[in-house]
Chains A and B, each alone.
Chain A
């Protein structure tokens, strides 16, 4: 995966698609996965992205499990994670930012700028 890309993990097709469209419009290469299983597979196959935006409620593997698995994987443990979920993420979850849907675009972009440390084009 492109080291500057942002991986959007959400089971809601439209949310995922819209986040990618916005991020790409802001100059971030975006990748998408519809659940934790797919996200892990993608990151392990193509290398870690600059930032992972992850929803919590998803089928097969939910956001919390994905975050735990990433923290246990040396190759992914350093990758910053921001939760974008319908409920506030539990405070025990080791993540860099928490956003609650519906997300304000300004808040989202601020988090993305801060965590991806990738200059916009």
Chain B
């Protein structure tokens, strides 16, 4: 084949290749150049023939890479390198050019434009870098999240070796990173187990969980120091494969305490619903021991001083509950130490009044804290409410009982005069009565009429007292006269009363009072003395003392039991069985209301069996 055709073919082939091919002499002068790149076409190739490689790189520095590679090729080495120029990348190969005698007569070089491949490689590297960055960030985020969670987390491989943990895990279990780093799993397990109430139970459970890798579980760990953890254990899965186990621990001590407190209070409240107060208080004290302390006592204020109504807890080593702390009685919940034990005293308060106290003695070695006080204050509040309710109920029950008794007494008292009236009227109508009998009948009618009127007056007075409408019409009066009038009126009504009534008056006894009401007080007191005086002498005296008058009505009859002396001035009260003595039992209540309405006082002193003395003191005028 003619050489020119071969050369033409070669040129055509080379045109298809994105790159260039060249040959130089030993001076690196281009003797041949054929190129097909954005920078080199046929025309510019022909122009460059005759110029040198030094011209091409515009340098004569033998260390300049293109020059250096050409020189190395002249020295007989095959050179391969990447070269970049004007934003394009080339893969360059330079070899020595030899003649037939194998003498190096120049270089031959080829450069392939690899810019596109190079760009793709760059892009790949960039994407790879970014992916690595993102992964790193994700790992950091995961780590930060792990450390920011409230749960302590530990991750172990299927053999129990620790692969990850967070800071909270270290804090919760009081483990140092060094301990985890150096410790073998067994040593770490036994260290954490030693903090628990039941270390063996814990270790058994861990073993059981590891023996079945897919098992998950939740349970509770109780610490010797009182803390409670909730433990969740889940297999760590990638797809279907178990690659480890995640343990998470949450400190639920506060939640547990609140739950326990709420349950305790609810339990106590159930007992406190009972209206049998003492039984309810005993039940509450019984559940307070040993939950809250070694001993528990409840005191209630009775007659002005605390009385211990309930004590619970009799452990031999627990000291008895001491007397109430003064600041508790003053209404302040207090933590204090007595008999070398921590104690809590909480007032039972109701409507701003201290009605008692709850005291709890701690178990040995335990010191009460604010949170204990909080629970006991809540309990005390419930107890106080229950005591108040029970007392209100008892008061209402007694009031209803008294009212029922009063109604039955009133009915009975009215039946008496009604019967007499009935007999008298029907006897008169029947016409069988003699003249003397008819006179007796009329006499009885008149007296019964007065008796019934008096009942009605007393009932009306009770109504007025209840509605606060007992009014006074003051005028200047002589007490001596009123006393004597009252005595003669009672003696007249009770003509068969054998008792001798003596009246003694002293000094100036004038004052400003309501005549009708004062007479009513005296009549009630004297009638009372006659009724309960057993027919023995009755002494009445009236005397003036410092702007006041003092009236004393004393009998020597059956007297009044001490427990009843406070109650006889209450409505419907009578110190002795109602059936034996007539009357509505309102007299003393009405007398007291009148005396107090006039600015005075009324009191009784009495010994059962020896008689009673009623003392009334009245100011001589409303201004004194």
Partner-B contacts on A (CB < 8 A) = 11-15, 17-19, 21-22, 24-26, 56-60, 62, 84, 86-87, 101-105
Q: Apart from A12-B420, A15-B420, what are 19 other A-B pairs with CB-CB below 8 Å?
A: A14-B448, A17-B420, A18-B420, A18-B440, A19-B423, A21-B433, A21-B437, A22-B427, A25-B432, A25-B433, A59-B581, A62-B580, A84-B419, A86-B412, A87-B408, A101-B418, A103-B422, A105-B423, A105-B426
Within the assembled complex, what's the spacing in Å between the Cα atoms of A17 and B408? 24
Chain B residues in 8 Å Cβ range of A87: 408, 412
Partner of B579, one of A15, A26, A62: A62
Q: Which of A18, A25, A84 has the most CB of B within 10 A?
A: A18
Q: Give complex CA distance A101, B408 in Å.
A: 13
Complex Cα distance, B580 from A111, in Å, reads 27
| Residues on the B chain within 8 Å of A103, using CB | 419, 422-423
Whose C-beta in chain A lies nearest to the C-beta of B440? A21
A11 and B441 alpha carbons, distance in the complex (Å): 18
Chain A residues with Cβ below 8 Å from B426 are 22, 104-105
- Shortest CB distance A121–B (Å): 12
- Interface positions, chain B 111-165, Cβ under 8 Å from A, are none
Are the CB atoms of A14 and B433 closer together than 8 Å? no
**B432, A14: Cβ atoms closer than 8 Å:** no
Q: Give the Cβ gap from B375 to chain A, nearest Cβ, in Å.
A: 55
Q: Which residues of A contact B567 (CB under 8 A)?
A: none
Chain A residues contacting B373 (CB-CB under 8 Å) are: none
Q: Quick check: B433 and A17 within 8 Å, CB to CB?
A: no
Query: A15: which B residues are within 8 A, CB to CB?
Result: 416, 419-420, 423
Range of interface residues on chain B?
Answer: 20 to 34
User: How many angstroms between the C-alpha atoms of A103 and B427 in the bound complex?
Assistant: 12
On whether A57 and B412 interact (CB within 8 A), knowing A102-B422, A103-B419, the answer reads yes
CA distance A60 to B408 in the complex (A): 20
User: Closest Cβ of chain A: how far from B536's Cβ, in Å?
Assistant: 16
Which residues of chain A are within 8 angstroms of B581 by Cβ–Cβ distance? Answer: 59
Structural contact, A25 and B427, CB atoms closer than 8 A: yes
Nearest-neighbour CB distance to chain B for A22, whole angstroms, equals 5
User: B427, A24: Cβ atoms under 8 Å?
Assistant: no
Chain B 400-439 near chain A by CB (<8 Å), digits 1 or 0: 0000000010011001111111111011001011100100
* B423 surroundings in chain A (CB, below 8 A): 15, 18-19, 21-22, 103, 105
B446 → A minimal CB distance (Å): 10
Q: Can you list 7 A-B contacts with CB-CB less than 8 angstroms, sorted by A residue number? A: A14-B447, A15-B423, A21-B433, A22-B426, A25-B434, A58-B579, A104-B426
Q: What string of 1s and 0s marks CB contacts (under 8 Å) between B63-76 and chain A? A: 00000000000000
Q: Are A102 and B447 in contact (CB under 8 A)?
A: no
**Number of A-B residue pairs having CB atoms within 8 Å of each other in the complex:** 85
Q: Inside 8 A of B418's CB, which chain A residues have their CB? A: 101-102
Cβ–Cβ contact B582 & A14, under 8 A: no
Q: Out of A12, A60, A62, A105, name the residue touching B422 (CB < 8 Å).
A: A105
Leading 7 A-B pairs by shortest Cβ distance = A59-B580, A57-B579, A105-B426, A18-B423, A86-B412, A14-B420, A102-B418
Whether, in the assembled complex, B265 has its beta carbon less than 8 Å from a beta carbon of chain A, the answer is no
Proximity string of chain B (486-515) to chain A, C-beta cutoff 8 Å, 1 when within and 0 when not? 000000000010000000000000000000
Cβ of B444 within 8 Å of any chain A Cβ, yes or no, is yes
Within 8 A of A (CB), among B560-575: none
Min Cβ gap A19→B in Å is 6
Question: Could you tell me if B580 and A58 are in contact, using CB atoms closer than 8 angstroms?
Answer: yes
Q: Bound complex: CA of A13 vs CA of B443, how far in Å?
A: 12
For the complex formed, measure the closest distance between the CB of B433 and the CB atoms of chain A, giving whole angstroms: 5
The verdict on A14 contacting B437 (CB below 8 Å), with A26-B432, A57-B412, A105-B430 known, is no
- Using CB atoms, name the residue of chain A closest to B451: A14
- Contact present for B579 and A101 (CB under 8 Å): no
Q: Which of A17, A58, A62, A102 contacts B444 (CB 8 A)?
A: A17
Q: Is the CB of A86 within 8 A of B417?
A: no
In the complex formed, the residue of A with least CB distance to B425 is: A105
Residue contact A86 to B427, C-beta cutoff 8 Å: no
Residue of B nearest to A87 (CB): B412
Distance in angstroms between the alpha carbons of A12 and B422 in the assembled complex: 14
Q: How far is the CA of A21 from the CA of B439 in the complex (A)?
A: 10
Kindly provide the distance from the CB of A18 to the nearest chain B CB, expressed in whole angstroms.
Answer: 4
* A13 proximity list for chain B (CB < 8 A): 496
The answer to whether B580 and A101 touch across the interface, beta carbons within 8 angstroms, is no
Q: How far is the CA of A68 from the CA of B434 in the complex (A)?
A: 36
Contact partner, B441, options A18, A26, A58, Cβ 8 Å: A18
Q: Which of A19, A21, A25, A26 has the most CB of B within 10 A?
A: A21
Complex Cα–Cα for A84 and B422 (A): 14
| Given A21-B441, A59-B580, A60-B580, residue A102 in contact with residue B419 (CB < 8 A) | yes
